[in-house]
Amino acid sequence: MHVYILLVLCVCVRGVTSFPNGEVEESCQSMTPNHSEFKSQTSSSPYKVSVNSTTFTAGQTITVTLQAAENASEFQGFMLQAREVDGKTAVGRFTSINTVQSRALNCFNIENSTLSQASADKKSHFEATWEAPTNSSLGDIQFVVTFVRDYPVFWNMVNSSTIRSTSPINTPSTTRFTVILLALTFTSINL
């Protein structure tokens, strides 16, 4: 009888921690699934993340595609964010969210800053639209994804190529350089 109760308890606990519906807010920063007895794979990911642009400006949208390599198994789960290169938090937000395939999460108090799977259905392709913030200047970004093939097998923090920011970044040194350049220009004109 005790063995039966223990077995039922183990099955219930595993079901609760696998998050097939994508409710993984506790993983916002680390992007590591709560599969405590398993570690991220160290081999190259058979899944990739690609984008439709190599540059972006404030307010621009980018299409992000998650895809299994040819002859690779489909993936069950994912967690997707945009981050500044070497950044630790999500930036921007996802728009036009397909709620059948994904669910939006409000990581780092940013609405829709993260997407994860809506169910454990297998998928070989997923597409999303991301929007850069309109009220701030970001540096270069990458899309970061954790792919879950199945409960014990996942690849953490798979990066897209770098997307270069073409928005002006107003730092003190940039502003100082601009003032000096303008002063030299006006001096040249008056000579």
| pLDDT tens, position by position, 50-73 | 999 999 999 999 999 999 999 999
Residue 32: inside a domain, yes or no? yes
Residue 109: inside a domain, yes or no? yes
- Mean pLDDT, the chain, whole residue set: 82
Q: Which residue has the higher pLDDT, 6 or 141?
A: 141
Residue 64: inside a domain, yes or no? yes
Residue 11: inside a domain, yes or no? no
What contacts 128, CB < 8 A, 6 or more positions away?
63, 64, 66, 80, 94, 97, 98, 102, 115
Q: Which residue has the higher pLDDT, 136 or 96?
A: 96
Residue 187: inside a domain, yes or no? no
**Do 128 and 112 contact (CB within 8 A), yes or no?**
no
Q: What is the pLDDT of residue 2?
A: 52
Structural domain of 116: 23-168
Residue 39: inside a domain, yes or no? yes
**Do 25 and 107 contact (CB within 8 A), yes or no?**
yes
Give 92-117 pLDDT, tens digit per residue: 999 989 899 999 999 999 999 999 99
CATH classification of the domain holding 57: 2.60.40.4060
Residue 142: inside a domain, yes or no? yes
Give 12-32 pLDDT, tens digit per residue: 434 333 445 445 667 899 999
Residue 88: inside a domain, yes or no? yes
Give 144-162 pLDDT, tens digit per residue: 999 999 989 999 999 999 9
Q: Measuring CA to CA, which residue among 160, 152, 178, 185 is closest to residue 17? A: 152
Concatenated DSSP letters for 92-159?
SEEES--TTTEEEE-GGG-TT-EEEESSS--BSEEEEEEE--SSS----EEEEEEEEEETTEEEEEEE
Structural domains in the chain (count): 1
Q: What is the pLDDT of residue 34?
A: 84
